């Protein structure tokens, strides 16, 4: 045992809960095959630690002690409930039979359990909105109210998604495991998609009063770091790079009153240089593998923007070339729109406007407010006020985020 002064125990346990509780929880989920039972057992283990460690001192391996205690607390809970549900008796016997196997658990197994939990929460059989809710709740430990606030919905709605996700895992027998090599591409795509969806909702909220939710984007970055640490896949590295570079500009993206500031007008001294440097290094690391995909290319585009000291220094030719690669890997009208804007910056607004008109004529982005806003901006730059006003009005009809609506209204006032 490690000697500790009693007054420090509470602080030690509180800090351990902050840093280790989700690791302990992930292992208990794997051992108990039950989210709710694991959550209850984890909390009981930390409560017990506060009492026991004041009497006996802190053990040499606090994390393993917490897992072991949590497991036995769960067995006791199951035994108490057997009188109401006889099927739980079999679970208690199975946990007793596995105690020798459990004794061999080590730190590497516990880290693997976190990866297992991520893949379980992001299984393709689970509805996407439930994947997001489950990941934030079970992997990150966010409260239901926090998730609901981040996604501008109600706690009962989020709770229902979490319940449905857990029920799907139980009913479909989804295993708590890292997928096999043949399964990995599809399963990893689901994990990366969920993390990026969480980041995007924090970096640029789909609706509401604010542009960003810093806590949510930082949570996604934390998930990205965890995934790269546990599974250093090229696209996981590319996604982490993309999130870091995008997040580096957060402070410069809005004014003190919460209004949008476009990239070309941002105070670049507010950009977070360590995030940019780390992201750029990760981009180079991913590109060297020659096995990169959409996240790495998007990160490379973000890195070119971040390297420019001024808007005029932006290497638009390189950005267009990267969009060409991106459109070959994953064709998308949004990619085409972004490429058109880049061409307008390099070759002039007329060149970009022709491309955007062709994209809007196809109809896929006719309800996408940013497509109309991009068209309006090019018309404004060309001095075509009537078309610019009409396009801004259409964008305003479709925009849901209040800062974006204020920005569009401001443009209309300037033109009128």
- Does 208 have pLDDT greater than 60? no
User: Which residue has better confidence, 245 or 204?
Assistant: 245
Give the pLDDT mean for 202-222.
69
Kindly state whether residue 113 falls inside one of the protein's structural domains: no
Query: Is position 56 within any domain?
Result: yes
pLDDT of residue 268: 95
48, pLDDT greater than 50 = yes
Q: Give the domain range for residue 55.
A: 6-105
Greatest mean pLDDT among 76-90, 213-227, 250-264, 328-342 lies in 328-342
Question: For residues 172 and 298, what is the distance between their CA atoms, to the nearest angstrom?
Answer: 35
Alpha helices in 257-348 (DSSP H): 273-288, 294-307, 316-329, 333-347
Residue 16 sits in a domain whose CATH number is: 1.10.1740
pTM of the model: 0.76
CA separation for the pair 378, 351 (Å, rounded):
10
Q: What is the pLDDT of residue 147?
A: 84
Q: Is residue 172 part of a domain?
A: no
Q: What is the mean pLDDT of residues 233-242?
A: 96
3-state secondary structure of 401: strand
What proportion of the chain, given as a percentage, has pLDDT over 90? 55
**Residue that wins the pLDDT comparison between 82 and 172:** 172
62 with 107: CB under 8 angstroms? no
**Quick one: pLDDT at residue 39?**
93
Whether the per-residue pLDDT at 323 is higher than 90: the answer is yes
Q: Is the pLDDT of residue 6 over 70?
A: no
Going through 250-361 in order, the beta strands assigned E by DSSP cover none
Indicate the residue among 88, 105, 122 that finishes a domain. Answer: 105
Please report whether residue 314 resides in a domain. no
pLDDT winner (highest mean) among 17-31, 77-91, 145-159, 184-198 = 17-31
pLDDT at 201 over 60: yes
Q: Pick the residue with more confidence: 254 or 297?
A: 297
Stronger pLDDT, 268 or 178, i.e. the higher one: 268
User: Which of the four pLDDT bands, split at 50, 70 and 90, describes residue 318?
Assistant: very high
Q: What is the mean pLDDT of residues 14-18?
A: 90
The residue out of 77, 105, 133 marking a domain boundary is 105
Give helix 369-382 / helix 333-347 axis angle, nearest 10°.
Answer: 10
Mean pLDDT calculated for residue range 210-236: 82
**Residue 210 C-beta-side C-alpha neighbours within 13 Å:** 15
- Please state the domain count of the chain: 2
Q: Residue 324: its pLDDT value, please?
A: 97
- Contact predicate 178/112, CB 8 Å: yes
3-state helix, strand, coil in the chain (%, to 5): 75, 0, 25
The Cα–Cα gap between 356 and 352 comes to 6
For residues 100 and 8, the model is more confident at 8
Q: Say how far apart CA 228 and CA 89 lie, in whole Å.
A: 40
pLDDT value, residue 187: 83
What CA–CA distance (Å, rounded) separates 408 from 329? Answer: 33
Q: Is residue 301 assigned to a domain? A: no
**Domain membership flag for residue 252:** no
DSSP H or E run through 20: helix 9-32
Task: Give the DSSP letter of residue 310.
Answer: S
Radius of gyration of the chain (CA): 25
User: Shortest CA distance to 282 belongs to which of 332, 227, 331?
Assistant: 227
Answer yes or no: are the C-beta atoms of 1 and 59 closer than 8 Å.
Answer: yes
> Quick check: is 401 in a domain?
yes
182: tokens are 């043949």
pLDDT band with cut points at 50, 70 and 90 for residue 176: confident
Residue with tokens 């909702």: 201
Q: What separation in angstroms does the CA of 48 have from each of 52, 53, 92, 351, 369? A: 6, 8, 21, 68, 54
The per-residue DSSP string of 329-344 comes to HS--HHHHHHHHHHHH
Examine the pLDDT at 47 and tell me if it is beyond 50: yes
The confidence band for 111, taking pLDDT boundaries of 50, 70 and 90, is low
**pLDDT-derived band of residue 329, with 50, 70 and 90 as boundaries?**
very high
pLDDT band, residue 152 (cuts 50/70/90)? low
Mean pLDDT, all residues of the chain: 87
- What does the pLDDT read at residue 4? 46
Span 211-232, mean pLDDT?
Answer: 82
Which tokens in the block code for residue 69?
């205690």
Domain boundary among 105, 129, 159: 105
> What CATH number should be reported for the domain holding residue 368?
1.25.40.10
Are 130 and 161 in contact by the 8 Å Cβ rule? The answer is: yes
* Predicted local confidence at residue 32, as pLDDT: 87
The reported pLDDT for the residue numbered 207 is 46
pLDDT confidence of residue 218: 86
**Section 114-136 average pLDDT:** 89
Evaluate whether residue 244 is within a structural domain: no
What pLDDT, on the 0 to 100 scale, is given for residue 102? 47
- Looking at residue 379, its pLDDT comes to 97
**Residue 236 pLDDT:** 94
Give residue 1's pLDDT: 52
């Amino acid at each position: 045992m490690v000697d500790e002064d009693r007054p420090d125990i509470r602080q030690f346990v509180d800090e351990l809960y902050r840093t280790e509780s989700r690791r302990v929880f992930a292992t208990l989920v794997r051992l108990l095959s039950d989210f709710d039972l694991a959550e209850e057992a984890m909390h009981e283990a930390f409560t017990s630690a506060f009492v026991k460690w004041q009497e006996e001192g802190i053990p040499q391996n606090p994390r393993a002690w917490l897992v072991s205690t949590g497991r036995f607390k769960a067995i006791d809970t199951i035994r108490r409930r057997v009188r109401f549900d006889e099927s739980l008796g079999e679970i208690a016997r199975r946990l007793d039979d596995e105690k020798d196997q459990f004794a061999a658990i080590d730190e590497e197994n516990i880290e693997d359990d976190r990866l297992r939990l991520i893949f379980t929460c992001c299984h393709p059989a689970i509805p996407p909105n439930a994947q997001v809710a489950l990941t934030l709740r079970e992997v990150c430990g966010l409260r239901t109210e926090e998730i609901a606030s981040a996604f501008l919905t109600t706690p009962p709605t989020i709770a229902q998604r979490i319940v449905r996700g857990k029920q799907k895992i139980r009913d479909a027998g989804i295993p708590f495991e890292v997928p096999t090599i043949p399964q990995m591409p599809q399963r990893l795509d689901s994990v990366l998609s969920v993390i990026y969806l969480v980041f995007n909702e924090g970096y640029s909220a789909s609706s509401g009063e604010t542009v960003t939710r810093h806590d949510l984007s930082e949570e996604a970055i934390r998930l990205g770091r965890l995934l790269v640490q546990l599974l250093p896949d090229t696209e996981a590295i590319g996604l982490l790079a993309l999130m870091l570079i995008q997040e580096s500009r957060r402070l410069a993206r809005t004014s003190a009153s919460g209004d949008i500031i476009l990239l070309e007008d941002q105070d670049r001294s507010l950009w977070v240089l360590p995030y940019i440097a780390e992201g750029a290094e990760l981009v180079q690391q991913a590109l060297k593998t020659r096995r990169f995909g959409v996240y790495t290319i998007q990160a490379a585009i973000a890195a070119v923007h971040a390297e420019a000291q001024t808007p005029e220094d932006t290497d638009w030719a390189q950005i267009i070339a990267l969009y060409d690669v991106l459109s070959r890997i994953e064709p998308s009208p949004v990619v085409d729109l972004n490429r058109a804007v880049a061409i307008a910056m390099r070759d002039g607004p007329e060149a970009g406007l022709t491309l955007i008109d062709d994209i809007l004529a196809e109809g896929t982005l006719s309800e996408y407010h940013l497509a109309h806003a991009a068209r309006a901006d090019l018309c404004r730059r060309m001095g075509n006020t009537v078309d610019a006003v009409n396009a801004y009005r259409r964008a305003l009809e479709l925009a849901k985020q209040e800062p974006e609506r204020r920005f569009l209204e401001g443009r209309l006032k300037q033109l009128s």
